[in-house]
Amino acid sequence: MKLLLMGGTKDSVEIGKRLRNLGDVFILYTSTTDYGGKLGEEFADEMITKPLDKNELKDVIEKYNIDILVDATHPFAINASKNAIDVCKELNIKYVRFERKEEKINHPNVIYVKDFVEAARLAKKANKVFHMAGIKNLKTVVDIVGKDKVIARVLPISVNEALKILPQKNIVAMYGTFSKELNKYLIKDYGCDAIITKDSGDSGGFEEKVYGALEAGAKVIVVERPKINYPICFSGIEELINYIANLKMSKF
């Protein structure tokens, strides 16, 4: 069996290790960054560490004679998932999605919005905002809220990009995930009365951000996950692995 595992997430590492244990499986691991690619070193036979457009993904699948594509990308990597679904349909191969569980937090100070533009417009009312949603949408938020009012936590590898958007004193470079207590004290120390985050699930430290912010007395603005109609989707790694194992036994 030849698998393409689209990763770059902590979930994909656990999935990759479990797939390796199935035995007699070739695993091609893809990530959009070198950092994400390092996550696959423990289990992957080969790795690709750059973004793939639809045509490039198709070429890779055909080159390696892939049987099954397992999509374990981030919940907000919608273009990657849509491209994968389309290519798998075109090539008539199995597409399987792993999607982290989504759990809404009901609290008067937790507000869900549809995108980062809406989040930023709400956050503009705050005195200072802690952006806890990575580098990708930081510029959108800063352009609306203002660079003097935004504190951003980013991965160390994203600092150079963040410096083009914010002054150095407004950037916190850390590798997570983070505890509720650390989130709480960072928010309080920077004097933020609101945070912007996204519903990235348990493995993305979502609840720790929300409850840390609430304990710090800050409002929480959450960007909801985009909705995609996945052909086959699992929210549990055990169920996903069992499904792949059964396919392996029955067809390969």
Q: What is the CATH number of the domain that holds 201?
A: 3.40.50.150
User: Both 117 and 201 in a single domain?
Assistant: yes
Q: What is the pLDDT of residue 226?
A: 86
**pLDDT digit string, tens, across residues 79-102:** 999 999 999 999 999 999 999 887
User: Both 233 and 219 in a single domain?
Assistant: no
Look at the pTM and tell me if it is higher than 0.85: no
Collect the ranges in the chain with pLDDT lower than 70: 203, 252
Q: What is the pLDDT of residue 38?
A: 77
Domain that holds residue 244: 2-101+227-251
User: Both 115 and 219 in a single domain?
Assistant: yes
User: Both 59 and 141 in a single domain?
Assistant: no
Choose among 121, 106, 62, 115: nearest CA to 87: 62
**CA angle, residues 153, 162, 157, in degrees to nearest 5:** 75
User: Both 208 and 247 in a single domain?
Assistant: no
What's the structural domain count of the chain?
A: 2
3-class SS at 48?
strand
Contact 222, 247 (CB under 8 A): no
Q: What is the pLDDT of residue 102?
A: 79
User: Both 182 and 242 in a single domain?
Assistant: no
**pLDDT digit string, tens, across residues 190-240:** 999 999 999 877 767 899 999 999 999 999 999 998 889 999 999 999 999
User: Both 194 and 121 in a single domain?
Assistant: yes
User: Both 72 and 125 in a single domain?
Assistant: no
**CA angle, residues 23, 3, 89, in degrees to nearest 5:** 145
DSSP state of 130: E
User: Both 115 and 207 in a single domain?
Assistant: yes
Q: What is the pLDDT of residue 203?
A: 65
Query: Percentages helix, strand, coil for the chain, rounded to the nearest 5?
Result: 45, 20, 35
What CATH code is carried by the domain that includes residue 44?
3.40.50.720
Task: Enumerate the H helices of 78-178 as residue ranges.
Answer: 78-91, 116-123, 138-145, 159-163
